[in-house]
Amino acid sequence: MDEHPEFNLFDITKNISINLLNHTEMTCQEAAWYLLREPMSKSSTVIDYIPTIWPVERHRIKKTMKELSELEDDSTDIWKENWFDKYEKRPEDLAGISLAQFVAKYYKNNKGDYVLREEPKVIRYRNYDMGTDYNEYRREMVTLHLPFRHEESEILAESRYLQLYEENEALILDRRKEFESKRFVSYFSYHKPILSVLEISDDGKDDDEKVVEIMDGS
């Protein structure tokens, strides 16, 4: 950027991409595939990511210029809906399903109704380590596997996810089996007695510090 201050980051990235493409050898078939804008690979399994980080850390996608032009002048609704927005607005007949189930098993058809997928999607998420981020792990599990209508007031406010996790741990563990390998869930069940020490320990340290000490054998 110092050499070409007249270019912004987008222009520089575009020029680098063009230069790389111009100096890359490819077959006629690859060139035709590229020019037709066809994907270089396809997967039979659809994978979707759920951003289970804190709301303030989540990236949002801005609406298209056409969509923005249709808004009222004083409207602040400039972002496309993410999975959390869609989930919180789900119809009443889906009130009892979790966020993980909603993303993996349902889609909106041409009539605007949510229906079951023939083949569930594979979900990915932040996946906090229960050994080093135990509180974040519990917040993530509550967010994924317990139904809610408003994340801020029902889960995050006053750290309600901590109590929700303790009250629904068996249900959460059972629902995890739908989306994770039995081996991983069994690993958690095996280490649960160790983590239970946190419930009776009162040494002034927070949960995450104590988990690290326990897992390290301190």
pTM passes above 0.75? no
Together in a domain, 134 and 83: yes
Together in a domain, 72 and 176: yes
- What span, in angstroms and rounded, lies between the C-alpha atoms of 178 and 172? 10
Domain boundary pick from 26, 42, 58: 42
Together in a domain, 27 and 56: no
Together in a domain, 53 and 38: no
Which of the 8 DSSP states describes residue 71? S
For the chain, how many structural domains are there in total? Answer: 2
Together in a domain, 49 and 33: no
Residue with tokens 């069940």: 189
pLDDT score of 11: 78
pLDDT score of 193: 47
Instruction: Evaluate whether 114 touches 144 at the Cβ level (below 8 Å).
Output: no
Together in a domain, 35 and 52: no
pLDDT score of 122: 92
Closest residue by Cα to residue 215 from 161, 152, 137 = 137
Closest residue by Cα to residue 124 from 100, 96, 141 = 100
Together in a domain, 60 and 34: no
Greatest CA separation for the chain: 69
Together in a domain, 78 and 168: yes
- What span, in angstroms and rounded, lies between the C-alpha atoms of 9 and 146? 42
| Residue-number span of the structural domain to which 121 is assigned | 45-216
Question: Position 187: which residue type?
Answer: Y
Residue with tokens 């509550």: 142
Together in a domain, 21 and 81: no
pLDDT score of 157: 98
pLDDT score of 37: 76
Q: Which two tokens stand for residue 119?
A: 């083949």
pLDDT score of 189: 52
Together in a domain, 180 and 161: yes
Together in a domain, 37 and 49: no
3-class SS shares of the chain: helix, strand, coil, % to 5: 50, 5, 40
- What span, in angstroms and rounded, lies between the C-alpha atoms of 115 and 173? 25
The CA–CA distances, whole Å, from 61 to 3, 58, 205 equal 31, 10, 39
Q: Which two tokens stand for residue 207?
A: 């949960």
Burial of 182 (C-beta count, 10 Å sphere; 0-12/13-18/19+):
exposed
pLDDT score of 6: 60
Instruction: Evaluate whether 117 touches 105 at the Cβ level (below 8 Å).
Output: yes
Together in a domain, 59 and 167: yes
Per-10-residue mean pLDDT, the chain, length 218: 65 80 78 77 82 95 90 89 96 97 96 94 93 94 98 98 97 91 56 48 51 48
End-to-end CA distance of the chain: 50
